[in-house]
Amino acid sequence: MTPDDVSDRAQQAREYESLHNRLFVLRLLLTALALAVFLFSDGSAALVQGLASRFGAWWPLTNGVYVVVAVFGFAALTFPLSYYEEHALEHRYDLSRQSFGGWLFDYFKGLVLEMALALVFFEVLYALLRWAPDSWWLFATAFYVAFTIGLSAVAPVLIMPLFHKFEPLDNPELVARVTEFAQRAGLKVTGVFRWGLAEKTATANAALAGLGRTRRIILGDTLLSGYTTDEILAVLAHELGHQRHHDLTRLLVVGTTLAGLGFYTAHLVLAKLVHAAGFAGPADIGSFPILVFCLLTFSLLTMPLVNAYSRRREYAADAYAVATLGAAAPLTAALEKLATQNLDDRTPPAWIEFLLHSHPSIARRVAAARAAEKHVG
Ligand SMILES: [Zn+2]
């Protein structure tokens, strides 16, 4: 690339980042507005009454249909936004390789999945609200942990294959290097998989996914095709760093603590507001907009905290990679390449990074990796 191309790409990345941030805020405002209208127009109460008059004592049925209608209604309302953000914008910046039909099919699969998860989650939550009105938040936290662990365990085998193809990595040299790498680090790698991203996107990615027997390293085919072996190993070393540091468990502990606090806050707010809003009690699913508003506000307010912690874990995984490789260059080269390919803003505004980013900016990661190199003997 010529210097002009590079600065064009950087300019595009800044635009792309800023558009996404605006869309994030827009989605938040739209969500708050939808919840308020649903609650204050008595639409929520009317829906519950209509369902309850049909299903009578079968409250799980009333609750279930209510959740499905709410999730579907919200998806319909925000469909133009989803289309713009996930399809139109990705094409405008040449990141997507999907047809509109292909994207729509994935969107519906995602929606059905989301609906199924919301159904299970809120059926349990409202059963707890009914059976344990004073201590539901404690049980809800325990349920949240089980739900998250279960989802993480099945994600690479049941959920991710719905959207992408996964195959065991077919590069014997790379598999041998990875296995040797992992052994030296004293880690058991249950599998290294090729992640079929290329048919849908121009972006590259890699991750550590699953729990226990489903724990695996997944490498985008977009990464495998465009990067040198050293760069791929650097990305792998970063993922192994996460595994070595038990980062999935750490994030689960943080998530659980915050979920507990969030449910308890919702418990206090519901007790204060539900009767005033004209509902029989917190177990009346008509008050769903209040519960969702509480949980969303709580997660929004604690998001900078979770992100700050996540960024620290990313730096630690990078430092691990540099120590394992004995040099920073392969990692920094891979990071620079990823930023260009994925249209990441290398130097986002500090306050945006602080509030919204789970990963440090590329410029900071590269600087930190070079500093870490000085400590490698
Ligand atoms: Zn990472």
User: Is 4's pLDDT higher than 90?
Assistant: no
User: Is 319's pLDDT higher than 80?
Assistant: yes
Please state, in angstroms and rounded to a whole number, the distance separating the CA atoms of residues 112 and 34. 21
How many C-beta neighbours within 10 Å does residue 42 have?
13
- Token reading at 146: 């089980």
Q: How far is CA 372 from CA 69, 128, 235, 347, in A?
A: 52, 49, 16, 20
Q: How far is the CA of 318 from the centre of ligand 1 (A)?
A: 8
Q: How far is the CA of 269 from the centre of ligand 1 (A)?
A: 36
**Residue 243: which pLDDT band, with cuts at 50, 70 and 90?**
confident
- Token reading at 185: 């680090």
**Residue 176: which pLDDT band, with cuts at 50, 70 and 90?**
confident
Please state, in angstroms and rounded to a whole number, the distance separating the CA atoms of residues 95 and 215. 29
Q: How far is the CA of 71 from the centre of ligand 1 (A)?
A: 31
Q: How far is the CA of 287 from the centre of ligand 1 (A)?
A: 38
**Per residue in 89-99, pLDDT tens?**
999 999 999 99
Please say whether the beta carbons of 217 and 192 come within 8 A: yes
Q: How far is the CA of 168 from the centre of ligand 1 (A)?
A: 21
User: Is 284's pLDDT higher than 70?
Assistant: yes
> For a pLDDT cut of 90, what percent of the chain falls above it?
84
- Token reading at 319: 């430092």
**Residue 343: which pLDDT band, with cuts at 50, 70 and 90?**
very high
Q: State residue 170's pLDDT score.
A: 87
The whole-number average pLDDT for the span 324-341 is 95
User: Is 38's pLDDT higher than 80?
Assistant: yes
Averaged confidence pLDDT in the chain: 94
Q: How far is the CA of 286 from the centre of ligand 1 (A)?
A: 40
Q: How far is the CA of 236 from the centre of ligand 1 (A)?
A: 10
Strands 206-209 and 216-220: antiparallel
User: Is 104's pLDDT higher than 90?
Assistant: yes
Q: How far is the CA of 27 from the centre of ligand 1 (A)?
A: 26
Q: How far is the CA of 242 from the centre of ligand 1 (A)?
A: 7
Q: State residue 6's pLDDT score.
A: 73
The whole-number average pLDDT for the span 250-278 is 96
User: Is 163's pLDDT higher than 80?
Assistant: yes
Sheet of strand 206-209: strand arrangement: 165-168, 192-196, 216-220, 206-209
Q: How far is the CA of 371 from the centre of ligand 1 (A)?
A: 18
User: Is 1's pLDDT higher than 70?
Assistant: no
Which residues have CB under 8 Å from 188's CB, separation 6+? Answer: 182
User: Is 173's pLDDT higher than 90?
Assistant: no
Q: How far is the CA of 339 from the centre of ligand 1 (A)?
A: 14
Q: State residue 184's pLDDT score.
A: 78
Q: State residue 377's pLDDT score.
A: 64
Total domain count, the chain: 1
Q: How far is the CA of 30 from the centre of ligand 1 (A)?
A: 31
- Residue 211 phi/psi, 5° resolution? -140, 145
**Per residue in 178-220, pLDDT tens?**
778 778 777 777 788 999 999 999 999 998 888 888 888 899 9
Q: How far is the CA of 227 from the centre of ligand 1 (A)?
A: 18
- Grouping H, G, I as helix, E, B as strand and the rest as coil, residue 216 is strand
> For a pLDDT cut of 70, what percent of the chain falls above it?
99
- Grouping H, G, I as helix, E, B as strand and the rest as coil, residue 220 is strand
User: Is 149's pLDDT higher than 90?
Assistant: yes
Chain centroid to Cα 323, Å, comes to 28
pTM, two decimal places: 0.92
Q: Which domain holds residue 321?
A: 3-373
Q: Which residues have their alpha-adjacent CB atom under 5 A from ion ligand 1?
A: 314, 317
Degrees, nearest 5: CA angle 5-331-204: 60
- Residue 142 phi/psi, 5° resolution? -60, -45
